Every structure is written in C-alpha cells, then in structure tokens.
Amino acid sequence: MSHTEYDSSSAQLIPTQRSRIKRIPQRGQYDSTAIYQILDEGLVCHVGFAIEQQPYVIPTAYGRVGDKLYIHGSPASRMLRSLQGGIEVCITVTMLDGLVLARSAFHHSMNYRSVVVFGKATVVTDSQQKLEALQAFTEHVLPGRWDEVRPPSSQELQGTLVLSLPLAEASAKVRTGHPIDDEADYQLPVWAGIVPLHLGATEPVSDPRLPLEIPVPGYALNYCRCAPNSNS
C-alpha cells in the first residue's frame, strides 16, 4: 500500500509499511483519538528529513488543528525552506511517563507514549488559515493565552512560514505497566517497580517590567499539560 486509507466508521488509520509498528506490535495504536491525545499533550516534536542524502533531525514546536499538524518558523530556516519543496518528512513526539525498574539490568524499561507521522508538508498560503495555525501554536502551549495577547501583525504574518502536514500516515506506540522479569528473577531480593515522571510547572515569574497591578492569569498559575482537544 503506497498511501494510508482512512476508515471513518472506526476512526482507525490503516497502517502502511512505514507506519506499522514492527517492534513489539501489540503496543501499536492506530486510532486517531489516541494519536491526537499524545500530540495535544506534547510540546516539542522532532522533524526528520534529508537534504541531498544528508539526514537531519530538528526539534521544534507544533500545533494541531483537526487532522493537520502545523510547524512554523522563519522563511530563512533551512528546515522549512527544504520542507516546503515537498520532500518526505518524519515527525515524532514522545511523552515519558515513568522509569520501569526490573530485577535484572536487561529488563529495565520506560513507560512512554509516542507518535510517528509520515508525509509531505505543504506551505499554508491562505492568510486566514495561517492565522488559525498560529493561534493553534499559542493555544497548544498555553490554552487561553491567544485571547489576551496582541495578534500577529501583517508584517509578522508575512515573515512567518507555516507548513501543514496531514495526520493520515501515523501511528502511536505506548508502553505501560510494571517490569516484566524472567520468572526466576522474581525471587531476587531486589526492589522493582515504577518511578513515575511527569512534566510539571513551578510558580510563574513575572516580567520585571510588568506593572504591579497586572495579576498572573489563572491559566499560568494552574498550568499543566493535558490533551483538551483530543476529540476534535
């Protein structure tokens, strides 16, 4: 199969040769809701591509609107200049949920949720779609922020390149639970279990030039990473 089909009745992506999970396939998930939840909780993606057969992997921020993933930056960016030419790209997002400590060194692992997306990015030329993508970037990082800040000026819009990638050829891979040891190792007097990890925010620090009468907004005081738009 050279392209991904979409089964709208079950919201399942039919995996391609590239997106199918081959290593421990039972951890693979192709449900779009599961994929969206991970993307909506993450903050940074890694974009893999090749220029003249030289591979590159670049970390960058992203945003999602429906079944499209957006990345943006300066038109002078080598990555964005290359991607707008229609070359193949691979984007990954990983959430680390815990360290899994087994009784043997061999069976140590991590609990994680990850997404891999394949495809060709296209340039967003429509000004309204471009503005919606930039709003998605802002709201993805900090929901509620867009309504309070100055929107991008026409000059800023012109100086920003936005690329869109369809979430059509994608898969998620998830590892949960306790360590899986060899049966004989369960008798060893060694502690085993999970060290949970999460991304947490500390108390906001106001800009020194901020007037004292401007309070810290609630979305900053109570900031946490979640997946508020996983069904949209």
Q: Residue 176 has what pLDDT?
A: 96
Q: Residue 231 has what pLDDT?
A: 43
Above 70 in pLDDT, residue 30?
yes
In 27-141, at which residue ranges do the beta strands (DSSP E only) sit? 28-29, 44-51, 54-61, 63-65, 68-73, 88-101, 109-120, 122-123
| Residue 77 is assigned to a structural domain of this protein | yes
**Tens-place pLDDT, residues 143-160:** 999 999 999 999 999 889
12-13/6-7 β-pairing: antiparallel
| Residue 158 is assigned to a structural domain of this protein | yes
Residue bearing tokens 């309504």: 147
Q: Please tell me the total count of domains within the chain.
A: 1
Distance CA 13, CA 170 (A): 7
| Residue 231 is assigned to a structural domain of this protein | no
CATH number at residue 170: 2.30.110.10
| Residue 227 is assigned to a structural domain of this protein | no
Tell me which residue range forms the domain holding 172: 6-221
**What mean pLDDT value characterizes the chain?**
90
The structure's pTM equals 0.88
| Residue 232 is assigned to a structural domain of this protein | no
For range 65-93, the mean pLDDT: 88
What value, to the nearest 5°, has the Cα angle with vertex 223 and ends 222 and 226?
120
| Residue 122 is assigned to a structural domain of this protein | yes
Cβ atoms within 10 Å, residue 110: 14
Above 70 in pLDDT, residue 9?
no
Share of the chain above pLDDT 70, in %: 93
The token pair at 158 is 């012109």
